[in-house]
């Protein structure tokens, strides 16, 4: 059976390696991106370049977006020369960006008017997961559309969960993920800050606590970076902030107080105010250093 | 070589199984406890009962305490008929309770006047770890004393870390552990609260996020309990609160702001105010339910 022609919009740090994996798996791809060099690169790998999102949608039965934020998705779907203008009834639109679940629902309702099903399918696992095809993919939307797109998801990721048939549920799972990530980050940096102020050998401290009830992915993977003074991303502070904003907006729309997540969002603002928005999320440690007027690494500037 | 005679004071939920493991390993033990039935039980296992902490200390070259809090340790060491009155120069005093690092330093200084070395050696792993001999043990104090007590620690635990030669450092490692535990708990319950309010299938949500960057011991082990509505301890809210109080006191003495841990402490107070101080720490979810006026399990009372 021939693989369906897939349209892809958004060739950033995530989109590029995902497109490459699909091309390697034999999918025919039509691509568009706001800036042209990424389109040319994808074309050099075998993708067909297009001149607009509309032009992509006209040619493909599955159309995917992977763009930064809710307004970008709205623009590329509903804006002039957008997906909505080009997409044919019976096609599936898949948004793999992390955006607002409420915006997701509105876009799905609009596309339904044209006989198009939507999946929200945000991912976690970062650029490394995108390169290796090991992303987690959290999907909301009709089962039929999910099953149609599953072979494609299986090229891109490993842990693929269909959260439910309602659009937005995939986004909500992603937001639950980011909520836990944010507070686990704070757990890691408060723990290390306390150890640093107490004069502990921080490597010994981490070795003592990582395997037990205090353990987390953040402690194991980013704790050593904080101790080593390595602030390179990984996942950037400004992207974590975008996701925490989405969490807090969603929680507000549900009438749910999330005091811890609100605090993490504010503490990351301290990091951003210090000009460190493009550092890795482990730079949350800087907020504690600044507030406590100390350095985890006394030798640092 | 004959095993040293060990004195043990404190036969609660932790002390009892630890004593049993030492007796099974062949250690001669002299025991005392504030209430008598636990002493009789330990005697039935082969321990020698004593009538005071002083009487224990007179007979033993290693004296261990495992009691609830800083004032209990002060009382049993420095109070009337306490360890200080009985202990002989050259003996080692080991406090395995979780108490204030500042109080620890003061007691160590007092014992040094009598030629007695002290180790602070708090544990994590709970009553299950105590029963199985799989505790993590975080030790501060002189290397010589640490090496003398290491064979005993190896009966009681698995992950044994000598944090440094200064007294209090073991307590500080434990407090770093509890800091991370508290915020990882909040991560778990805010994430589940958001999922519940959004109408997610919470088991699917946990399956989707547990293995990635959001993962933690708390999410894996206590997340399913929250979802199942199982509030039994595990580790009790009131004990977690005692440990968070120690964290915040220690941080205050170091001039270190820990806004996340302070928030967790306040949110656990909501749980205690609801009369749930003896439930497991996963009951932190109740604070969010109460504040958001909703139930994770709509069928619950």
Same domain, A12 and A159: yes
Provide the annotated active-site residues of A.
174
Q: Terminal CA-to-CA distance of chain A, rounded, Å?
A: 61
> What distance in Å separates the CA atoms of residue A60 and residue A232, rounded to the nearest whole number?
38
Partners of residue A122 in chain B, C-beta under 8 Å: none
Whether residues B159 and B22 share a domain: the answer is yes
Tell me whether A192 touches chain B (CB under 8 Å): yes
Nearest to B271 by CA among B259, B288, B292: B288
Query: Which tokens go with A296?
Result: 């985890």
Q: Exposure pattern of B194-212 as b/e (b: 16+ CB <10 Å)?
A: bbbbbebbbebbbebbbeb
Mutate to test the interface with B, among A164, A168, A180, A291 (most CBs of B within 10 A): A180
The mean predicted confidence, pLDDT, of chain A is 96
B208 vs A: CB within 8 A:
yes
Locate B225 and state its tokens.
């309990």
Q: Are residues A137 and A192 in the same domain?
A: no
3-state secondary structure labels for all residues of A138-178: EEECCHHHHHHHHHHHHHHEEEEEEEECCCCHHHHHHHHHH
Residues of chain A with Cβ-Cβ distance to B194 below 8 Å are 172, 175-176, 179, 247, 250-251, 254, 256, 258
Residue A280, min C-alpha distance to chain B (Å): 14
Note whether residue A204 is domain-resident.
yes
Residue A1 lies in a domain: no
- Same domain (yes/no): B40, B184: no
What is the Cα A162 distance to its own chain's centre?
17
| B1: in domain | no
- φ, ψ for residue B164 (rounded to 5)? 160, 170
Quote the pLDDT of residue A288. Answer: 98
Are A263 and B259 an interchain contact pair (Cβ–Cβ within 8 Å)?
yes
Please tell me the distance from the alpha carbon of residue A17 to that of residue B153, in angstroms, as a whole number: 50
Say yes or no: A102 contacts chain B, CB-CB below 8 A: no
Helix (H, G, I), strand (E, B) or coil at B159: strand
The burial class, CB within 10 Å (0-12 / 13-18 / 19+), for A163 is buried
Cα–Cα distance, A13 to A278 (Å, whole number): 14
Question: A38-87: per-residue pLDDT in tens?
Answer: 999 999 999 999 999 999 999 999 999 999 999 999 999 999 999 999 99
The list of chain A residues with pLDDT below 50 reads: 301
Whether residues B29 and B142 fall in one domain? yes
Tens digit of each residue's pLDDT, chain B (301 residues): 689 999 999 999 999 999 999 999 999 999 999 999 999 999 999 999 999 999 999 999 999 999 999 999 999 999 999 999 999 999 999 999 999 999 999 999 999 999 999 999 999 998 899 999 999 999 999 999 999 999 999 999 999 999 999 999 999 999 999 999 999 999 999 999 999 999 999 999 999 999 899 999 999 999 999 999 999 998 999 999 999 999 999 999 999 999 999 999 999 999 999 999 999 999 999 999 999 999 998 765 4
Q: Are A178 and B207 in contact (CB under 8 A)?
A: no
The verdict on A137 and A16 lying in the same domain is yes
- The CATH code of the domain that includes B184 is 1.10.1040.10
- Contact between residue A281 and residue A185 where contact means Cβ atoms under 8 Å apart: yes
Query: Is the domain of A90 the same as that of A179?
Result: no
Instruction: List Cβ neighbours of A62 (8 Å cut-off, separation of 6 or more).
Output: A4, A5, A6, A7, A91, A92, A94, A148, A149, A152
Of A146, A165, A184, the residue that ends a domain is A165
Position B244 in a domain:
yes
Claim to verify: residue B160 and residue B139 sit in the same structural domain: yes
Cβ(B2)–Cβ(B58) under 8 Å? no
Nearest-by-Cβ selection for B256 from A197, A205, A217? A197
Query: B246: which 2 tokens?
Result: 């120690």
pTM over 0.90: yes
CATH code of the domain covering residue A78 = 3.40.50.720
CB contact under 8 A, B212 and A183: no
Domains of chain B: total: 2
DSSP state of B2: P
Point out the residues of B that are catalytic. 174
CA gap B189, A260 in Å, rounded: 10
Of A140, A165, A190, the last residue of a domain is A165
Share of chain A above pLDDT 70, in %: 99
> Considering the domain boundaries, does residue A87 fall inside one?
yes
Residue B301 pLDDT: 47
Decide which of A165, A191, A220 is a domain's last residue: A165
Q: In this complex, do B187 and A187 lie within 8 Å of one another by their Cβ atoms?
A: yes
Helix (H) or strand (E) holding B156: helix B143-156
Phi-psi domain of B161 (left: phi exceeds 0; alpha: psi -120 through 50; beta: other): beta
Please, are residues B70 and B99 in contact by the beta-carbon 8 Å criterion?
A: yes
Rounded CA gap, B263 and A89, in Å? 51
Q: Does A128 map to a domain?
A: yes
A271 lies in the same domain as A207: yes
- Percent pLDDT > 90 in chain A is 96
Same domain, B244 and B101: no
> Are A104 and A39 in the same domain?
yes
Per-residue burial over A254-284, b if 16 or more Cβ lie within 10 Å, else e, is bebbbbbbbbbbebbebbbeeebbebbbbbb
- CB atoms A101 and B212 under 8 Å: no
Residue B292: inside a domain:
yes
Domain that holds residue B271: 173-300
Mark yes or no for CB contact A172/B200 under 8 Å.
Answer: yes
Closest alpha carbon to B13 in B68, B57, B60: B68
Report ipTM (2 d.p.).
Answer: 0.96
Within a domain: B161? yes
Q: B256 CB near a chain A CB, below 8 Å?
A: yes
* A 47-66 → B contacts, CB under 8 A: none
B41 — contact with chain A (CB < 8 Å)? no
Looking at the fold, whether B76 and B134 belong to one and the same domain comes out as yes
């Amino acid at each position: 059976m021939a693989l369906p022609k897939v349209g892809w919009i958004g060739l950033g740090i995530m989109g590029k390696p995902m497109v490459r994996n699909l091309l390697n798996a034999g999918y025919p791809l039509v691509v568009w991106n706001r800036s042209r060099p990424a389109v040319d690169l994808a074309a050099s790998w075998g993708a067909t370049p297009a001149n607009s999102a509309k032009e992509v949608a006209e040619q493909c039965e599955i159309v995917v977006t992977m763009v930064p934020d809710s307004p970008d998705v709205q623009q590329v779907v509903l804006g002039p020369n957008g997906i909505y203008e080009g997409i044919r009834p019976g096609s599936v639109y898949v948004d793999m960006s992390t955006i607002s679940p409420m915006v997701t629902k509105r876009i799905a309702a609009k596309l339904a008017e044209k006989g198009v099903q939507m999946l929200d399918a945000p991912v976690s696992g970062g650029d490394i997961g995108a390169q290796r095809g090991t992303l987690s993919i959290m999907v909301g939307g009709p089962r039929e559309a999910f099953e149609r797109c599953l072979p494609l998801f299986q090229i891109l990721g490993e842990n693929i969960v269909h959260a439910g048939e309602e659009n937005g549920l995939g986004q909500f799972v992603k937001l639950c993920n980011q909520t836990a990530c944010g507070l686990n980050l704070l757990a890691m940096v408060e723990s290390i800050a306390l150890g640093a102020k107490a004069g502990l050998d921080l490597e010994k401290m981490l070795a003592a606590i990582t395997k037990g009830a205090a353990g987390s992915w953040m402690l194991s993977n980013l704790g050593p970076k904080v101790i080593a003074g390595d602030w390179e991303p990984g996942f950037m502070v400004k992207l974590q902030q975008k996701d925490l904003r989405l969490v807090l907006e969603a929680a507000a729309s549900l009438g749910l107080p999330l005091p811890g997540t609100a605090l993490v969002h504010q503490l990351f603002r301290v990091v951003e105010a210090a000009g460190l928005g493009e550092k890795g999320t482990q730079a949350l440690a800087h907020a504690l250093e600044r507030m406590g007027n100390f350095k985890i690494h006394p030798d640092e500037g």
